[in-house]
Amino acid sequence: MTDIAPQLEQEARSQWWDVWDQFKSHKGAMMGGGFLIFITAAVLLGPYVWTLDPQKLDIRAKDIRPIYTFLWENGAKVSWGHPLGTDNLGRDTMAKLMAGGQVSMAVGWTAMLLSIFLGTAIGVVAGYFKRFDGLLMRLTDLFLALPLLPLLLVIMLLFRDALRQAVGPEGGIFILVVIGIGITSWMQTARIVRGDVLALKEREFILAAKSIGTSSGKMITRHLLPNVLSPIMVSATLGLANAIITESALSFLGLGFPSDFPTWGKLLFDATDRMELYPERVIWPGLCISLTVLSVNYIGDGLRDALDPRIRGR
């Protein structure tokens, strides 16, 4: 009689706690999560702490090396005012990294959300409504057969100037990059979601919901979407990593963001001309991109394990 109460308390636990417990046991994912929080906080809150203007030119303080260069090069031009050094126009590298990171992360998240939204919508519609299935899946196949990077480059070339004039230099290129990445990366999500929806449709609870007269809209939002959430979350992490890499690749090829509105990829590209003398200007943005993508991929790995009930039980 007395030991029933604690048992009941234990049962009041949603499955998300189990997911979290499994996720916690994945060391790489925890470290990845920690780093992602750190870098997001650094680019968002950093500018309030490190108040130097990333665009401010200071010709007298140009070409300052990072502070650690002092360790092996005695006469190096270093300054505590610019711990990571400055570029050839005297702009502070740390401030530029924070500003660039904001843009890179914003592009990554927005493009990922767009691609997940498109993929989920197309996948659910194709899986749920039989008459759209053939058409939408042929469309997906066609998109998968397109050479995406060359086409993205071409899209950048064609619409860059038009959009810059219409929306302004910063907004225009942002919209273009986000839409470009979004519409070229939804296909895998759509395929996975469609497959899962097709399998779910055969289950009894869907039949039960149908037999009490649930409408299609309610059916999708109430019964199907919550059940395909796991694969969507995993492909969201892959999508975020992919979006950050694609954006920086575009900027690196000179067809992304302009130099006066740089992202990590653009900072890296601008620095390659003088990397013999100032390798740190290449290495810091590169490290930011690589570590962010690495941590996102680790989170994806951890999530995949945590959301898989077969693994979670062990």
Binding residues for other proteins, rule: CB under 8 A, are: 28, 141-142, 144-151, 153-155, 157-159, 161-162, 241, 245, 248-249, 252-255, 265, 268-269, 272, 275-276, 279, 282-283, 286, 289-290, 293-294, 296-298, 301
C-alpha to C-alpha distances, 166 to 162, 176, 254, nearest whole angstrom? 6, 12, 21
CB 124 within 8 A of CB 225: yes
Q: How far is CA 82 from CA 8, 39, 73, 78, 85, in A?
A: 59, 19, 17, 8, 5
CB of 84 to other proteins, least distance (A): 16
CA–CA gap between residue 256 and residue 254 (Å, rounded):
6
Least spacing, CB of residue 229 vs other proteins, in Å:
23
Nearest CB to other proteins, comparing residues 81 and 309: 309
Whether the CB-CB separation of 299 and 24 falls below 8 Å is answered with no
Cite the DSSP H helix spans in the chain.
Answer: 4-11, 15-24, 27-49, 93-128, 130-144, 148-167, 169-183, 187-201, 204-211, 216-218, 229-252, 264-271, 280-307, 309-312
Please state the closest distance from residue 7 (CB atom) to other proteins, in A: 34
81 versus 279: smaller Cβ distance to other proteins:
279
| Nearer residue to other proteins within complex by CB, 43 or 282 | 282
Q: Which residues of 111-128 are buried (b: 16+ CB within 10 A; e: fewer)?
A: bbbbbbebbbbbbbbbbb
Collapsed DSSP state (helix, strand, coil) of residue 92? strand
Q: What is the smallest separation between the CB atom of 22 and other proteins, expressed in angstroms?
A: 16
Closest CB 283 distance from other proteins, rounded Å? 7
Q: Which is nearer to other proteins, 279 or 309 (CB)?
A: 279
Is residue 182 within 8 Å of residue 111, measured between CB atoms? yes
Q: Which is nearer to other proteins, 147 or 213 (CB)?
A: 147
User: CB of residue 276 vs other proteins: minimum separation in angstroms?
Assistant: 5
Nearest in space to 84 (alpha carbons), one of 74, 73, 96, 75: 96
Which CB sits closer to other proteins, 156 or 197? 156
Nearer to other proteins, 155 or 206 (CB): 155
CB of 36 to other proteins, least distance (A): 13
Which 8-state DSSP code applies to residue 125? H
